[in-house]
Amino acid sequence: MFGSLFRRVQATFDRAVDSLVSRAIVAIPFLFAGGFGTAALSIRLNREFGSEMGFLILAAGFVALGVVTALVVRARSDAPAEADAADEDLAPVDGEAAASADAPGFAGADRELIMAALTSAAPIALPAIVRTIGRNLPLVAAVAAAAFIISRGNGQAGTALEPGE
């Protein structure tokens, strides 16, 4: 009875995950290119304007990029809000309003569909995630150690004991 619903949910979930993984695979080289481009630009600005002014110019460029990105994201999020305002005549009944109060972006059926997808995918995805983390445990430990060292702050960096103390 629910077999077709579960197959549909699984197919939708699989397409969403495939799309997300494909986008991430495409984005990774661009992220590396952006990092190297930023490093090259930093070196060039530091050579021409000095280190302090070069870093300030680079920071101002990133602030401008952030503002433009925020405006684009806001413009995209405003468009669905206008569409929702046009659909206000289709007011939800009390049961749907209570279900959508927890997750304001989802209708009751969408929330149930997502929960069904998560509960059906968790037994399959969790062992794969645990195996991946287990295989890459040294890398995960190194990243965690690096994050710990970076987050310690400058105040604790010079607190090493001298041999005579």
DSSP state of 161: P
Residue reference for tokens 């991430």 = 24
pLDDT at 104: 53
The stretch 107-111 carries a mean pLDDT of 66
pLDDT at 43: 93
Whether the CB-CB separation of 108 and 96 falls below 8 Å is answered with yes
DSSP state of 164: T
d(CA 34, CA 36): 6
d(CA 18, CA 29): 18
Ramachandran region of residue 153, left (φ > 0), alpha (ψ -120 to 50) or beta?
A: left
**90 compared with 65, residue with greater pLDDT:** 65
27-83 pLDDT, tens digit per residue, is: 888 888 888 999 999 999 999 999 899 999 989 988 888 888 888 888 888 765 555
Map residue 128 onto helix, strand or coil: helix
d(CA 88, CA 100): 15
Residue reference for tokens 């413009």 = 75
Band of residue 100 on the pLDDT scale cut at 50, 70, 90: very low
SS3 string of 68-102?
HHHHHHHHHHHHHHHHHHHCCCCCCCHHHHHHHHH
Residue reference for tokens 């059906």 = 120
